[in-house]
């Protein structure tokens, strides 16, 4: 366990830019853009309404807004705030998809390319330990850091809204922190981490298998093999032999192999295949936020797609271990 811990630290130190700074900088960029948008919007409002005019919403001053809202309007405002909080936190997850994809793609190829594998092979470290440490870095370490960055970004967004509300004489607690549910959203993001790890396993397994096997250009191999397989299946109507259409292959094989590192893809697949989710019609922002709740996220563990993909990913990880043991060359 101590060896595995140091292997994890090695992966973090070598890829700190992608694991740590990329999601932090992305969140900071969002907060900066939000600040500039607020300043620009305030400048336009003041130039059109006058210097001394207060901020009005539906004919009501911001400072008096909470006193004039009905119970239903308060619920809608809370849903809108939660949706904005969730969207603000999505920025670090956007960069996570690319970081994990390209990290896995180069995880076992780069060490052969620069011949550093010769050094690591001279140490008492097994191929299984090394591959599993890279797997844990992609499925646990990087998503955890991105989730923490997302939570900080979403809280920073609420702070910006609070400052803007107080600038116009509003009560930040009544208008922002009281209706919003930042802790619930933070819990939902953290609870979704195991779902992400299992759902991304086939993509991570495929990328690491190609990284261990390919002698050159792993990106082209990783991308073109599943795409050409999909084209051949479509051209020769292979899936019709099993009573299915080619779209099934594109969705459940090609899509799972290439798009698993994108957070939230499990919801996209469930929305395309679960009749209950297909008939779901959100009445407002609150229903959209509920889609990303911890309870709904863990519903992915009740689907066959997740477990079949995880089993395929585990098999490809075993293949990556084999090829790392067999290919020592640079």
pLDDT tens string 81-108:
899 999 999 999 999 999 999 999 999 9
Strands annotated E in 17-102: 56-57, 60-61
The first and second tokens of residue 239, run together, are 């899936």
Residue among 310, 13, 55, 242 at smallest CA distance from 166: 55
Separation CA 213–CA 320 (nearest Å): 7
Separation CA 89–CA 277 (nearest Å): 24
CA dihedral 98, 100, 102, 104 (to 10 degrees): -160
Instruction: Provide the whole-model pTM.
Output: 0.89
What pLDDT is attached to residue 276? 59
Separation CA 24–CA 147 (nearest Å): 10
DSSP state of 69: -
Separation CA 289–CA 90 (nearest Å): 12
What pLDDT is attached to residue 59? 42
Which ranges of the chain have pLDDT less than 50? Answer: 53, 56-60, 330
Domain ranges of the chain: 2-326
Query: Are the C-beta atoms of 297 and 191 separated by less than 8 Å?
Result: yes
What pLDDT is attached to residue 86? 92
The first and second tokens of residue 263, run together, are 């957070």
What pLDDT is attached to residue 56? 46
DSSP state of 54: P
């Amino acid at each position: 366990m101590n060896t595995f811990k140091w292997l994890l630290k090695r992966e973090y130190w070598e890829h700190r830019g992608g694991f740590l700074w990329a999601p932090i900088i992305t969140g900071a960029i969002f907060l900066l853009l939000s600040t500039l948008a607020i300043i620009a919007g305030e400048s336009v409002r003041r130039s059109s309404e006058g210097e001394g005019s207060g901020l009005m919403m539906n004919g009501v001053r911001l400072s008096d807004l909470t006193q004039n809202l009905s119970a239903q309007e308060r619920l809608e405002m809370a849903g809108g705030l939660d949706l904005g909080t969730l969207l603000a936190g999505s920025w670090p997850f956007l960069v996570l998809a690319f970081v994990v994809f390209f990290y896995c793609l180069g995880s076992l190829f780069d060490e052969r390319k620069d011949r550093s594998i010769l050094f690591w092979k001279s140490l008492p470290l097994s191929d299984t330990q090394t591959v599993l440490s890279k797997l844990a870095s992609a499925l646990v370490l990087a998503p955890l850091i991105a989730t923490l960055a997302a939570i900080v970004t979403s809280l920073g967004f609420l702070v910006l809204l609070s400052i803007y509300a107080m600038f116009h004489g509003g009560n930040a607690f009544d208008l922002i922190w009281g209706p919003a549910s930042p802790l619930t959203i933070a819990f939902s993001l953290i609870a979704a981490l195991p779902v992400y790890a299992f759902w991304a396993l086939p993509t991570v397994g495929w990328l690491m298998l190609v990284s261990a096997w390919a002698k050159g250009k792993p990106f082209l191999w990783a991308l073109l093999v599943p795409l050409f397989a999909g084209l051949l299946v479509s051209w020769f109507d292979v899936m019709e032999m099993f009573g299915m259409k080619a779209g099934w292959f594109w969705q459940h094989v090609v899509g799972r192999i290439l798009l698993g590192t994108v957070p939230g893809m499990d919801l996209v697949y469930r929305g395309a295949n679960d009749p209950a989710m297909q008939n779901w019609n959100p009445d407002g922002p609150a229903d959209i936020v509920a889609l990303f709740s911890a309870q709904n996220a863990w519903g992915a563990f009740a689907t066959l797609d997740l477990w079949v993909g995880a089993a395929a990913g585990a098999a490809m990880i075993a293949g990556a271990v084999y090829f790392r043991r067999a290919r020592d060359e640079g």
